[in-house]
Chains A and B, each alone.
Chain A
């Protein structure tokens, strides 16, 4: 599904990722945990194709293809989805229209028939019910004036609607209270399938209760410094990251 080899990435001339390796198979859930500033968000943005991230060496293969040569929309078309840590507010663009345009863009890319308006409303209703998303939220502009919890729920809604093959969750649990975390966590959990892979980037292990990882990696100073199973996540909860920060220094 995803194969990252010796990835080096610079942002504004500063080396952020320093030789990251990762192998994620179809249907697997991997967690990437690490202290602030270790390069977690940089990894998510490089994978999704944001501008301003210079890959100085290494390669990324997604479904056997060179991911770095693809535009962001092509990556999305091929099933890659990033749930943003800070979802962007887009005034003047209604959430419903945005969702429909996105879903149809991806269907078009895959050579599938586009949704007509009625079918799409039905399709979205299913997903919104589970996520406590009201019709009012769908009428409002994308993320505009949404609370932190609403923004994250909206990310999970998009994930449900766009039916990706690889979901990258960038700190999706951050800024959520317990109740909001449950809604978001259960929403993500419901999307698990045998063919869909997850890369869960997180500082805290609490979201991993909803989406239990097959592998947990510790990212520090731009590379994976330790890999283990789910026990590693619980261990980190007790010990914190200080050990890895000293190592890295």
Chain B
């Protein structure tokens, strides 16, 4: 066994031990009050293998782009397209990164999540197998990356635990599209963890689409450290799965660091969607925005837990948090919980949360112009949600969100 193998073995063992001592989170825990995943304790879960038929990928980003494809969490080189990068830079699968001394995975993997230890990320660590690694330094040109996760599951209960590491240093810029797509009705559990370090004037734009299959459980944890004069942006669209919990923790770890977090969630039937965000301002003049909007139909339930913490050293911090939900049926429910925790004196923080029906006046106005009810509703929902999308540069993902949205609205 090589030293790296031994190190990884140790890391996974710690994950196994830590998870065994606490188990899956319970609704008694404040952070999990509205999202119950105890059903995952029913039956046995096996690590997923490759399905027999793998559908061909539909890539979204065109032009010069690095593509990595994963199927049931397993790296699938046949569909991936890697590019040659200058020395000491790497974008590729985790297993290869582990072999490369210059990528130095072991200095970083596990260290970010360790500060925010959660049983669900311990479970991920215990099962580390595949994932992607992006490590860039001093690359001034923006790099486009698209990650496609084709999640099929299989007969019986399977899970997989993608583990990804992103390290951008010294004015590197990445536009990263990460998609989960699943068309099957299989029961599977996708527990993905991203560790992200963006530092020294670097910039990461992360676009995520969470569209797992009808009976899937999707839990994602993205733990980010943003350094001096660096920017982390996240725009996520959640529309698939039986239950989705999308958790983002951003540490603003440098002067002038900033985070812009946006999310759109669409849920119908008996889907449950949970967006949980913590932004921790640790340094002066750090800036953060959270803008999450969603539409809930059928008997869907939604959760938004948005937290801003401003530490005592973070004078000049500026944080804003907004969550708005439109309920398209009487049975749909939303739990929205904003929280500000401020220990510094000179800060600007704001929050606003609303939940309501579609504007009846606007609906009548559209209908009075000849637009049929169903179309009028869809126009209003799209108009309501577009505020989030317009807040982000979408040139890399033209049509992606619109396509998903149109399909969703037609199905409601």
Contacts and interface: CB of A to CB of B under 8 A. Distances in A.
| B359, B367, B369, B382: residue with the most chain A Cβ atoms closer than 10 Å | B369
A101 B373 contact: no
A50 interface: yes
B385 A102 contact: no
A105 B386 contact: no
A76 to B, nearest CB: 4
B371 A101 contact: yes
A82 B366 CA distance: 11
B383 A90 contact: yes
B214 to A, nearest CB: 29
Contacts, number: 77
A158 B365 contact: no
Interface stretch (A91-99, A225-233, A240-248): A91-99
Contacts of B368: 48-50, 72-73, 75-76, 81-82, 84
B362 interface: yes
A88 B369 CA distance: 12
A102 B384 contact: no
A73 B363 CA distance: 11
A219 to B, nearest CB: 21
B17 interface: no
A141 interface: yes
Nearest to B361: A88
Contacts of A92: 382-387
Interface string B370-387: 111101100110111111
A77 B370 contact: yes
Interface in B27-45: none
Contacts of A20: none
A84 B365 contact: yes
Nearest to B389: A92
A158 B369 contact: yes
A51 B360 contact: yes
A42 to B, nearest CB: 14
Contact of A73 (B362, B371, B384, B387): B371
Contact of B365 (A77, A88, A162): A88
Interface of A: 48-51, 71-73, 75-77, 81-82, 84, 87-93, 98, 101-102, 105-106, 109, 141, 158, 162
